[in-house]
Structures are given as C-alpha cells and as structure tokens.
C-alpha cells in the first residue's frame, strides 16, 4: 500500500507541474489517471482482506473491518464528482470483505459480512445522492462563471452602444431641423389630400360641407342669401361604360373646369361620381337660376377628349339658405331632391326647391314609410285580369296585378312601385307577389290549365338569389312551372343585357315562359328581341288605342317580327269590341283589357264567368 501511495504521489506531482506549465493539458487524461490510481488503491485493500482475513484474530479482524468500512464510507464525499468511480471504489472495498466474512466459519464474521452488504447498499445510495448534489453544484458554479463572463461582455457592449448612441444623437440633432421642415410639408400635403378631390382638384364632400356651413353662417349674419346648386351629369354613365374610365375621368375634369369658371374654386366641389356642388354667396333665386342656366349651356357644349367629340347635359337642383335650411347637410339634401325631380321632368331647365316640392317629397316619404310595413299589415293584395285567346275567346292566362290599400286610400302601382324599387323593398314585395300568385293559381278549380302572369322588376332579375327564390316558390306552391309566366319590361335590357340573358336562360330551362311587356316603347327593341330567350310579346296599350291611326302599322310590324322569331303576341288595353275584332283579324294571339274584364280579386275571379261568348260576329 505504501508503494501504491508513493506512486500516486509522484503522479499527482508530475500532473500538477505539467498543468502549471501548459494550458493545453487534457483534463480527460487527468481524470483517467486519478481514477486508475483510486481503483488500484481499492484493489490493494481488497487483496489484503481476501488474502489475510483468515489469519487475523478477532480484534485484528474487527479493526480491519472498521478501517475498510471507514475508507468506503468516505468515498461518496471524496469521490462525489464521479458517481461511477465512487460506486466502483466502494464495491471493491466492501464486496470482497463482506463476501469472505459471510463465508467464514465464525458466526461473528458472518454477522459482520451481512452488515457489510447492508453498509455497501447504503454507500451506493449515498454515492448517488452526493454525486447528484455535487454535479448540480458544479453545474451552477459553471453557470455563474458563464453569467459573470456574459455580464462582463454585456457591460463592454453597453459601453460600446453608449458611444454609438452619443454619435447617433449628434447625427439626429444635425438632421432634426430638416425633418421638422419635411413633416410640416407633408402635413400640409395630407391636409390638402383630405380636403381636395384627387381627380378634379375641387373640394371634396367633407371639405365642401364644412365650407358651406361657414357660408351659411355669414349669410345669416349679413342678411344675404347663399344659393346651393346640385349638379348631376346626364349621359356620363354611357360615356364611361362604352369608352372607358380614362376617357370618363378626363371628361369629368373638363366639366369641373367649366363649372369652376362660374364660382370661386373654394366654393366648388365634387359630391361623388358625376355629381358636383356649387355655392353662390349673395345670390337670390333669380341670380341662381341665371347662373345655373349658364352652367347647363356650358356643360352642353361639345367636349373634345382624345379625338372624340362628346356631348353631355346637366340636371341642376337649387336650394337657398337661410330660406330653405340653416344646415349644410340638409341644404345639400334638398338641392339633391330638387335635382332628382328636375331630372324626371321633361323641362330642361334648373329647378328651385319650393314648398310644393317639399309637400310632394313629404308625401312620397310618408308613402315609403307605409310601404315598409304594408306586408306585415296585410295591406297589399292581388287582382287578376284575364288574358283571352283571340280565336276561341277562352281564358288563357290571368295577369297578377299588385294593389295597395294604404289607410283606406288606394295607392296606384305607378306611385309605389318606383318607390319600392328605389328603396330596395321591391325584392321582398316581389317575392310575396310571386308566392301569392302561384298559391292562388294552384287552387283555381274553375280553370286548372290557365297560367298566371307575374310582372318582375329588373332589380329582382339582377339579384343572384332570384332563381333560388323562384325554385322555392314553385316547390312550396306545387304549381307546374309551365303555368307560370314572367313579364319583363323592355327597358330592363338596356344596361343589363348580359346578366338578364343568363337569368332568362335559367328561367326557360325550368319551362317557365317569359313575356316582354310594353314592347315597342323601350330602347333598341329589335336588337334585344332577336337575342333574348322570350316566348311572348305584349303590344303596348298606346298602340292599341291608336289602332285606327299609325298604331295599326306598328302592330302589324310587331306581329311580323314576332312570327319570324317564333313568339306569340298579346295585345293589352283592349277596351272595345271593334279593337278586339281588328286585333284578332290581324293575327294577334291573345287579348287583354277592360272589354273582357277589369282586374278582380281572387275570390271574385272564382265566380267570374266570361259574359262575351264571341266578338267575331
């Protein structure tokens, strides 16, 4: 054992000396050398126990066990940095001694051997625990060292950053004045963009409304009126659609320049699209009408854009402050309503808001409000007018006509239908009409083959969900599709030909028939009729009324066109026997009018019998 200890001392001295001279000495080699020395030491003690244990007297034996156990007991702490070495060292010391003792002849040796195994188990457990604690302590120590190094590095980095920040601050101070000037310029530009229409350079809606409020306040304070002109271009949509947005934009710019010539640029604005506003301070009705007429004349002059000569007209509505309103938004709305009334009238001159117009607008508003609740209050109902077969004078179909009893007063369809279309209520009302007409027709016991003809608005046809609604109504009512006819006015096709054609094709695929109503009174009748899938052409009442004059020629031309295109014809507005006979003689297929019957409620239709057996005598 002395030789082993001496060799290990020399090894430690040599390792220490070499490590102090060079930082590149391998730590793993040192661990291996230390472990080897420890294992050789343990083997030396184990050899002593195995070789000499039988020659020891009791006191020597006990002393040996105590020494070996003490050495083994200290190994978990001394060798804690290496769990495996600690366990191997304890195993080499305790297992040979305990095994020899357990196999000895003396009983006390057997007891000590058994205790040795128990002590060994405790040592192994202790080695595991102490080794784990020591390894964790070393890990934390290494982390602390790393943290200290990182803190030191970051401290150096902070110092470097501080220097850089000082340099950057100096540079920022140098360019700060330039930035402030740039911010000021951009703020002014943003303000301009938020108040000026980007296309025309006029005031935009927000800025013009604010300017108008200021003008109204001045008008009230100095007792002089300010006139507001709401200008809408007629025919611009056609230019924009046919010639492109680039031509349309240049046209708007030219119109804006012409309008601005009649007023200060600060008092001229673009409301949106092809709508403009002009404020005229110190202008009464006479002055405003004169300037507005001059504007209409100016707009009507030819506009030359990219080699094209374009023509537009303008509709102008006028409202005055403080006479008509003291609020800019209200004044604009009044001028807008007045412009709409002027556009619908045949007069091509400006119009000034009046109490009469106000009463008309209020009446329309009251009707519109009532129309919003007409369905839930069950004020709407259908009447049916027979459509007779000209050859046999039998009921071929019945046209469903919508009626409205508003607070005990009859409101004509010519009044409330346009309001329903403008407000969007026509979809809901149109769906109700279709559903009600199909339900009634399904239960007609007096004529189970007659069709029901229903007028459909262009707004309904343009709705993507119309076909689905139509399918649901036919399914729920149980009416065969061939007994449903849809009537569409000719003007429907003017701006929506492609979409309408697609919708009509789907309708025809369901075996539902389609009629063109008021044929000959719309736009481009022949070109539309030859491309659209329709089954019937309805000749307008205006031509029937003039059948003894030029109306006959138009009717005969219509009949010729319809026959060539394989369409049946229906003449509406037949009021006399002579008209019925003449139309039948010309070859009209079906007749409709007061001569046969006025529109009737469904319950009256059931008991109605055709009082005219024949009109061909």
Task: For residue 352, count other CB atoms closer than 10 A to its CB.
Answer: 21
Q: Quick check: 276 pLDDT over 50?
A: yes
| Three-class secondary structure assignment of 79-106 | CCCCHHHHHHHHHHHHHHHHHHHHHCCC
Phi, psi angles (nearest 5°) of residue 566 = 60, 40
Task: For residue 572, count other CB atoms closer than 10 A to its CB.
Answer: 19
Closest residue by Cα to residue 612 from 394, 384, 398, 449: 394
* DSSP string of 504-565, one letter each residue: HHHHHHTT-EEEEEEETSSSSHHHHHTTS--SEEEEPHHHHHTTTTTHHHHHHHHHHHHHHT
**Average pLDDT value for the chain:** 86
| Torsion region of 438: left, alpha or beta (phi above 0 gives left; psi -120 to 50 gives alpha) | alpha
Residue 597: C-alpha distances to residues 114, 394, 453, 574 (Å): 127, 12, 16, 10
Closest residue by Cα to residue 207 from 197, 219, 218, 217: 197
What span, in angstroms and rounded, lies between the C-alpha atoms of 350 and 287? Answer: 12
Q: Quick check: 476 pLDDT over 70?
A: yes
- pTM: predicted TM-score of the whole model, two decimal places: 0.56
* DSSP string of 193-241, one letter each residue: HHHB-TTT-SB-HHHHHHHHHHHHHHHHHHT--EEEEEEEEESHHHHHH
498, HSE (Cβ side, Cα atoms, 13 Å) = 0
Task: For residue 486, count other CB atoms closer than 10 A to its CB.
Answer: 21
Contact 404, 380 (CB under 8 A): yes
What span, in angstroms and rounded, lies between the C-alpha atoms of 43 and 33? Answer: 15
Contact 48, 12 (CB under 8 A): no
Contact 382, 437 (CB under 8 A): yes
Termini Cα distance of the chain: 152
- CB proximity list for 311: less than 8 A, separation 6 or greater: 235, 300, 302, 303
Contact 326, 220 (CB under 8 A): yes
Q: What is the mean pLDDT of residues 11-19?
A: 83
**Between 467 and 98, residue with greater pLDDT:** 467
SS3 264: coil
* 378 exposure class (CB count in 10 Å sphere: 0-12, 13-18, 19+): exposed
Using one digit for the tens of pLDDT, what is the confidence trace for 539-582?
999 999 999 888 899 999 989 988 888 899 999 999 999 999 99
What span, in angstroms and rounded, lies between the C-alpha atoms of 436 and 442? Answer: 10
Contact 310, 251 (CB under 8 A): yes
pLDDT (0 to 100) of residue 522: 53
For the record, the structure tokens of 610 come out as 């055709």
For the record, the structure tokens of 73 come out as 């007991």
**Between 300 and 95, residue with greater pLDDT:** 300
Q: Quick check: 613 pLDDT over 60?
A: no
pLDDT (0 to 100) of residue 188: 64
Using one digit for the tens of pLDDT, what is the confidence trace for 433-449?
999 999 999 999 888 89
What span, in angstroms and rounded, lies between the C-alpha atoms of 298 and 550? Answer: 39
| Banded pLDDT at 150 (limits 50, 70, 90) | confident
| Banded pLDDT at 24 (limits 50, 70, 90) | low
Domain assignments of the chain as residue spans, ordered by start = 2-141, 205-353, 371-607
Residue 282: C-alpha distances to residues 52, 290, 483 (Å): 134, 13, 65
Closest residue by Cα to residue 588 from 553, 549, 556, 551: 556
Beta-bridge partners for 455: 487
What span, in angstroms and rounded, lies between the C-alpha atoms of 594 and 577? Answer: 10
Contact 615, 576 (CB under 8 A): no
Contact 295, 229 (CB under 8 A): yes
Q: What is the mean pLDDT of residues 300-306?
A: 93
What span, in angstroms and rounded, lies between the C-alpha atoms of 444 and 80? Answer: 106
CA angle, corner 499, sides to 498 and 501, nearest 5?
65
pLDDT (0 to 100) of residue 524: 45
Using one digit for the tens of pLDDT, what is the confidence trace for 517-551?
877 665 445 555 677 788 999 999 999 999 988 88
For the record, the structure tokens of 311 come out as 């023509």
pLDDT (0 to 100) of residue 468: 96
Segment (H or E) for 594: none
| Banded pLDDT at 92 (limits 50, 70, 90) | confident
SS3 453: strand
Using one digit for the tens of pLDDT, what is the confidence trace for 64-84?
888 888 888 787 778 877 878
**Between 424 and 519, residue with greater pLDDT:** 424
Contact 321, 331 (CB under 8 A): yes
**Between 43 and 491, residue with greater pLDDT:** 43
Lowest mean pLDDT among 110-114, 291-295, 309-313: 110-114
pLDDT (0 to 100) of residue 492: 61
Given CA atoms 539, 542, 543, 545 in this order, what sign does their dihedral have?
positive
| Banded pLDDT at 253 (limits 50, 70, 90) | very high
Using one digit for the tens of pLDDT, what is the confidence trace for 579-608?
999 999 999 999 999 999 999 999 998 788
Domain 205-353, classified CATH 3.30.1780.10, yes or no: no
SS3 588: coil
What span, in angstroms and rounded, lies between the C-alpha atoms of 377 and 407? Answer: 10
* 339 exposure class (CB count in 10 Å sphere: 0-12, 13-18, 19+): buried
Q: Quick check: 230 pLDDT over 50?
A: yes
What span, in angstroms and rounded, lies between the C-alpha atoms of 268 and 276? Answer: 8
pLDDT (0 to 100) of residue 491: 63
Q: What is the mean pLDDT of residues 310-336?
A: 93
What span, in angstroms and rounded, lies between the C-alpha atoms of 86 and 72? Answer: 9
Which CATH number is 371-607 given? 3.20.20.450
pLDDT (0 to 100) of residue 456: 94
Q: What is the mean pLDDT of residues 225-249?
A: 91
| Torsion region of 306: left, alpha or beta (phi above 0 gives left; psi -120 to 50 gives alpha) | left
Q: Quick check: 319 pLDDT over 90?
A: yes
**Between 218 and 163, residue with greater pLDDT:** 218
pLDDT (0 to 100) of residue 611: 60
Q: What percent of the chain has pLDDT over 90?
A: 45
What span, in angstroms and rounded, lies between the C-alpha atoms of 180 and 300? Answer: 49
What span, in angstroms and rounded, lies between the C-alpha atoms of 205 and 245? Answer: 21
What span, in angstroms and rounded, lies between the C-alpha atoms of 576 and 593? Answer: 9
SS3 479: coil
What span, in angstroms and rounded, lies between the C-alpha atoms of 560 and 25? Answer: 115
| Banded pLDDT at 26 (limits 50, 70, 90) | low
């Amino acid at each position: 054992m002395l030789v082993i200890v001496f060799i290990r001392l020399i090894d430690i001295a040599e390792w220490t000396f070499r490590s102090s001279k060079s930082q590149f000495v391998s730590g793993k080699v040192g661990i291996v050398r230390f472990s080897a020395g420890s294992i050789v030491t343990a083997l030396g003690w184990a050899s002593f126990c195995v070789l000499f244990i039988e020659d020891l007297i009791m006191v020597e034996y006990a002393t040996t066990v105590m020494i070996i156990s003490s050495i083994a007991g200290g190994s978990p702490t001394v060798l804690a940095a290496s769990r495996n070495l600690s366990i191997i060292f304890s195993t080499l010391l305790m297992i040979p001694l305990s095994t020899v003792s357990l196999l000895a002849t003396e009983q006390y040796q057997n007891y000590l051997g058994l205790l040795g195994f128990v002590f060994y188990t405790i040592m192994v457990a202790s080695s595991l625990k102490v080794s784990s604690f020591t390894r964790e302590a070393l890990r934390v120590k290494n982390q602390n060292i790393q943290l200290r190094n990182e803190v030191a590095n970051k401290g150096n980095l902070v110092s470097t950053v501080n220097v850089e920040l000082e340099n950057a601050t100096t540079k920022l101070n140098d360019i700060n004045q330039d930035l402030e000037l740039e911010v000021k310029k951009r703020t002014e530009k943003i303000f301009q963009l938020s108040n000026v229409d980007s296309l025309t350079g006029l005031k935009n809606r927000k800025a013009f409304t604010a300017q108008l409020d200021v003008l109204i306040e001045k008008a009230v304070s100095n007792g002089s009126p300010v006139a507001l002109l709401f200008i809408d271009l007629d025919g611009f949509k056609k230019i924009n659609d046919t010639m492109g947005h680039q031509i349309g934009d240049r046209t708007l710019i030219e119109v804006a320049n012409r309008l601005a010539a009649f007023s200060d640029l600060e008092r001229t604005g673009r409301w949106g699209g092809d709508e403009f506003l002009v404020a005229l301070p110190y202008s009464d009705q006479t002055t405003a009408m004169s300037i507005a007429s001059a504007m209409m004349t100016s707009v009507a002059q030819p506009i030359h854009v990219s080699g094209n000569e374009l023509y537009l007209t303008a509709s102008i509505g006028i409202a005055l402050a403080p006479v008509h309103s003291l609020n800019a938004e209200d004044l604009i709305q009044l001028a807008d309503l007045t412009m709409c009334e002027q556009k619908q009238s045949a007069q091509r001159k400006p119009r000034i808001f009046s109490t009469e117009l106000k009463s008309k607008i209020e009446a329309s508003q009251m009707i519109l409000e009532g129309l919003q609740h007409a369905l839930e209050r069950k004020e709407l109902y259908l009447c049916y007018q027979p459509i007779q077969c000209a050859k046999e004078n039998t009921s071929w179909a019945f046209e469903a006509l919508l009626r409205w009893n508003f607070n005990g007063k009859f409101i004509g369809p010519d009044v409330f239908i346009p309001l329903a279309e403008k407000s969007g209520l026509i979809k809901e009302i149109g769906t109700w009409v279709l559903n009600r007409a199909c339900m009634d027709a399904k239960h007609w016991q007096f004529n189970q083959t007659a069709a029901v003809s229903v007028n459909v608005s262009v707004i309904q046809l343009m709705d993507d969900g119309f076909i689905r609604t139509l399918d649901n109504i036919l399914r729920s009512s149980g009416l065969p599709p061939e007994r449903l006819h849809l009537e569409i006015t000719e003007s429907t096709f003017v701006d929506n030909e492609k979409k309408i054609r697609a919708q009509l094709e789907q309708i025809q695929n369901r075996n539902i028939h389609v009629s063109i109503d008021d044929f000959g009174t719309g736009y481009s009748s022949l070109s539309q009729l030859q491309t659209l899938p329709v089954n019937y052409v309805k000749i307008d009442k205006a031509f029937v009324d003039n059948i003894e004059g030029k109306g006959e020629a138009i009717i005969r031309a219509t009949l010729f066109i319809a026959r060539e295109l394989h369409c049946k014809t229906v003449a509406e507005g037949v009021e006399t026997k002579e008209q019925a006979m003449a139309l039948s003689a010309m070859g009209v297929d079906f007749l409709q009018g007061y001569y046969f019957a006025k529109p009737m409620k469904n319950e009256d239709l059931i008991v109605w019998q055709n009082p005219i057996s024949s009109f061909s005598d």
